[in-house]
Amino acid sequence: MFHEDFFIPQRVILAIMGFLAILNAYTMRISLSIAITELVVKKNHTDIDGETAVCLADDMDHGTSTGGTYEWSEELQGFILSSFYIGYIVTHIPGGLLAEKFGGKWTLSLGILSTAFFTLITPVAIINGGATALIIVRILMGLGEGTTFPALSVLLAQWVPLNERGKLGALVLGGGQVGTILGNLLSGVLLDAFDWPIVFYMFGGFGVVWFIFFCFLCFNDPTIHPYIKPSEREYLAKELGSLGRKENLAPTPWKAILTSIPMIALVCAQIGHDWGFYIMVTDLPKYMSDVMQFSIKANGLYSSLPYIMMWIVSIGSGFVGDWLITRNILSITNTRKMMTGIAAFGPAIFMVAASYAGCDRLAVVVLFTICMGLMGAFYAGMKLSPLDMSPNYAGTLMAITNGIGAITGVITPYLVGVMTPNATLLEWRTVFWVAFGVLCVTAFVYCIWASGEVQEFNDTPPRKDHDAEERGKSSDNEKQKH
Q: Which amino acid is at 317?
A: S
Please tell me the predicted confidence (pLDDT) of residue 474. Answer: 46
User: Is the residue at 482 inside a domain?
Assistant: no
User: Is the residue at 273 inside a domain?
Assistant: yes
User: Is the residue at 60 inside a domain?
Assistant: no
Please tell me the predicted confidence (pLDDT) of residue 4. Answer: 45
Domain count, the chain: 2
Please tell me the predicted confidence (pLDDT) of residue 478. Answer: 47
Q: Which residues in 197-214 are b (16+ Cβ under 10 Å) and which e?
A: bbbbbbbbebbeebbeeb
Residue 211 has pLDDT above 50, yes or no: yes
Q: How many CB atoms lie within 10 A of CB 459?
A: 12
Q: Are residues 145 and 288 in the same domain?
A: no
Please give the residue range of the domain that contains residue 328. Answer: 256-474
Q: Which of 184, 210, 243 is the last residue of a domain?
A: 243
Residue 425 CA to residue 51 CA, distance in Å, equals 9
HSE-CB of 225 using CA atoms within 13 angstroms: 29
Q: Which residues in 320-347 are b (16+ Cβ under 10 Å) and which e?
A: bbbebbeeeebebeebbbbbbbbbbbbb
Q: Are residues 26 and 140 in the same domain?
A: yes
User: Is the residue at 364 inside a domain?
Assistant: yes
Residue 33 CA to residue 75 CA, distance in Å, equals 14
Please tell me the predicted confidence (pLDDT) of residue 461. Answer: 61
When pLDDT is averaged across residues 54-72 and rounded to a whole number, the result is 61
Q: Are residues 207 and 324 in the same domain?
A: no
Q: Are residues 176 and 293 in the same domain?
A: no
Q: Are residues 218 and 312 in the same domain?
A: no
Q: Which of 208, 243, 278 is the last residue of a domain?
A: 243
Between 10-14, 51-55, 202-206, 437-441, the lowest mean confidence (pLDDT) is in 51-55
Please tell me the predicted confidence (pLDDT) of residue 69. Answer: 78
Percent of the chain surpassing pLDDT 70: 85
User: Is the residue at 251 inside a domain?
Assistant: no
Residue 210 has pLDDT above 90, yes or no: yes
- Report which of residues 54 and 282 the model is more confident about: 282
Q: Are residues 227 and 304 in the same domain?
A: no
Q: Which residues pair with 48 in a beta bridge?
A: 51
Residue 228 has pLDDT above 60, yes or no: yes
Confidence of residue 17 (pLDDT cuts 50, 70, 90): very high
Sequence-separated (6 or more) residues with CB below 8 Å from residue 8: none
Nearest-10 crossing angle of helices 361-375, 332-356: 160
What element of type H or E holds 250?
none
Burial class (CB in 10 A: 0-12, 13-18, 19+), 250: middle
Q: Which residues pair with 51 in a beta bridge?
A: 48
- Report which of residues 463 and 339 the model is more confident about: 339
Please tell me the predicted confidence (pLDDT) of residue 1. Answer: 38
Distances (CA, A) of 95 to 175, 255, 295: 19, 19, 40
- Report which of residues 463 and 76 the model is more confident about: 76
Is the distance from CB of 217 to CB of 19 less than 8 angstroms?
A: no
Please tell me the predicted confidence (pLDDT) of residue 249. Answer: 63
CATH number at residue 223: 1.20.1250.20
Our CA dihedral for 133, 207, 94, 386, rounded to 10 degrees, sits at -130
Sequence-separated (6 or more) residues with CB below 8 Å from residue 366: none
- Report which of residues 180 and 302 the model is more confident about: 180
pTM: 0.73
User: Is the residue at 248 inside a domain?
Assistant: no
Q: Are residues 223 and 175 in the same domain?
A: yes
User: Is the residue at 194 inside a domain?
Assistant: yes
Q: Are residues 108 and 76 in the same domain?
A: yes
Residue 432 CA to residue 437 CA, distance in Å, equals 9
Q: Are residues 185 and 208 in the same domain?
A: yes
Q: How many CB atoms lie within 10 A of CB 101?
A: 13
When pLDDT is averaged across residues 414-419 and rounded to a whole number, the result is 84
Q: Are residues 234 and 275 in the same domain?
A: no
- Report which of residues 396 and 300 the model is more confident about: 396
User: Is the residue at 56 inside a domain?
Assistant: no
Q: Are residues 176 and 298 in the same domain?
A: no
Distances (CA, A) of 149 to 172, 357, 384, 395: 10, 36, 11, 8
Residue 441 has pLDDT above 80, yes or no: yes
Q: Are residues 299 and 232 in the same domain?
A: no
Please tell me the predicted confidence (pLDDT) of residue 463. Answer: 52
SS (H, E, C) 316-362: HHHHHHHHHHHCCCCCHHHHHHHHHHHHHHHHHHHHHHHHHCCCCHH
Confidence of residue 352 (pLDDT cuts 50, 70, 90): very high
